[in-house]
Amino acid sequence: MDNNFNKENELNQNNNTVDSNDINTINGQNNESSYTNNTDNTAPINFTMTSSDSETSNDTSDFTSVLPETSPASTENQFNEPIKKKRTGFTGGKFALGVISVITISVLSGVLGGVITHKYIGTKPITQTATAPINYSNYAPMNEAVTGGMPVPQIVETVKAGVVAVSSKTVNQLGQQGESVGSGFIFSKDGYIMTNYHVIEGASEVTILFNDNSQAKGKVVNYDANLDLAVIKVTDNKEMPAVLELGDSSKLVTGQPVVAIGNPLGTEFLGTVTTGIISSTNRDVNGNSFLQTDAAINAGNSGGPLLNDQGQVIGINTLKMSGSSESSSTASVEGMGFSIPINVAKEKIDALIKPALVLGISCKNITSDVAEYYSIPEGVAIMSITEFSAAEKAGLLLNDIITEMDGKPVKTVADINTIKNSHVSGDTIKFKVYRDKKYLDINVTLS
C-alpha cells in the first residue's frame, strides 16, 4: 500500500526553523513531508494533518465493492415451468364497496381531528417559560453498563472551558505573513496547554482563544516534532477557566465510546463536539501507534482532546484519512481519524514543560549542487535571526553558512538540532561559519 502523510500548511515556506526538531526533508512544496511504502498496485491513502491551514489533497484511496453481481429475477421455476400468478383481493362489487368505506372513514376522521385540534391547540395562546437547569439524569450514560460513565452533555459541560483554539502566525523569509488555527487543551492551572507540533510549527506569535471568546497571548515552551507534540504557555495574567484530567489510554478497548472537541475549519466553529467509538487501540501509521476513532475529526481539530466517558483526555486528535478513489468518482473515506494516545504524551510532559534550547535562527540547507553552482561550501545558510536571541548575541549574521558545530560537520538543519539537543542551557558551542569567502569561528552560548 502506498501511504502518504501530508502536513498541509498554507504558507510556502522554503526555510527551516533550526529550533524545530526537523526530522523531515523539505520538498519545497508548502512544507509537505511525504513518506511512501510501496507494495502491490493499490491506490494511495492520504493521511491529512488536521490543523485548519490544510488544503484538500487530491490523493485518494481505493475501496472496491465486493458485492456479487445480480441479474433480473427469473420468471420461471427451477423445472423451467412458467410460474402461475394467483389473483387475490377485491373483485367487482366488493372492490367498489371497499373504496366507498375507506373514503367515508377518511372524511369523518378529518372532520373530527380538525374539531379536536381547534379545541385543544388552536384556541390556546403560545407561552414561553424560563429554561430549567439541565437534568443529566434524563440522558443515558455513554457506557453505564461497563463504567458508569457520564452522558455526553455532562461530559461537554465539564470540560468545554478547558478546550481552546490555538492561532499561530508565521512570517517567511520574504516577509509574507500567514496564520493557521488548531486546537489544544489546558492540562495545568499554571497555564500550560497541550497541542500538536504541526499547529505551532514556525510560529512567530501564538494567541489562545478560550471557550468564552476571551483571548490571551501564549508562547511555545517546547515540542517533540517526531511525536507531533507541543506545549505552549499562556503568558498573560489570566486565570485558567478549567483544567482537563488526563486518563489512561492503556485501559481503552475497541468499541468504547469517545467524544472529540475542537475547532474544525477554524474559530467559526469553536468548541464543536463529535462522538464515536474507539475503532482500534493500536493502529500503526508510519511506525507510530495511534488510536483510531470514527468520531469526526476535521481540519482545525489538531491538538484537541479525545475524551472517554469520564471526561478524561485519552488521546490528542492529530490525523484523518481523506480522499476518494482514483478509479471511482463515488467512493470516499469517512470516519477514520487518529489520535496520539495520552500515555505517550504523559511520558513527555516533564520534558516538554521545560523551555527548549533556542538558537534563534531560521536556515536553509545548501546542497552539493547549490554549493557547486555558487562556489560556496555545503552547509546550512542563515536566512533570519531572532532579535535578542543567542545567535544574535554571539554575532552570527544573515547569509552565514554554518559548516561545523562542536567540530562536527553540518550539512542539514537536522544536524544542527542533533548537536544542539546534546547540550543543556548555558553550554557554549563553537560554530564554524563561511562569510565573505573566509571561515570564522564563533562561540554561541545556549539559552
Catalytic positions, please?
A: 198, 228, 302
- Residues recorded for the chain: 447
Write out the three cell numbers for 182: 488548531
Burial of 95 (0-12, 13-18, 19+ CB in 10 A): exposed
Separation of alpha carbons 319 and 274, rounded Å: 15
Task: Provide the 8-state DSSP code for 324.
Answer: B
380's CB contacts (< 8 A; 6+ apart) are 18, 363, 364, 365, 366, 401, 402, 410, 411, 412, 413, 415, 416
Task: Provide the 8-state DSSP code for 138.
Answer: G
- Residue the block writes with cell 476518494: 324
CA distances for 38 relative to 13, 86, 366, angstroms: 28, 61, 30
**Kind of pairing between the strands at 401-405 and 408-409:** antiparallel
First-to-last C-alpha distance (Å) of the chain: 44
CA distances for 116 relative to 103, 106, 109, 119, angstroms: 20, 15, 11, 5
298, 264 contact by CB (below 8 A) = yes
18, 359 contact by CB (below 8 A) = yes
Please, what's the b/e burial string for 294-327 (b: 16 or more CB within 10 A of its CB; e: otherwise)? Answer: bbbbbbbbbbbbbbbbbbbbbbbbbbbbbbbbee
Cβ neighbours of 358 (radius 10 Å): 19
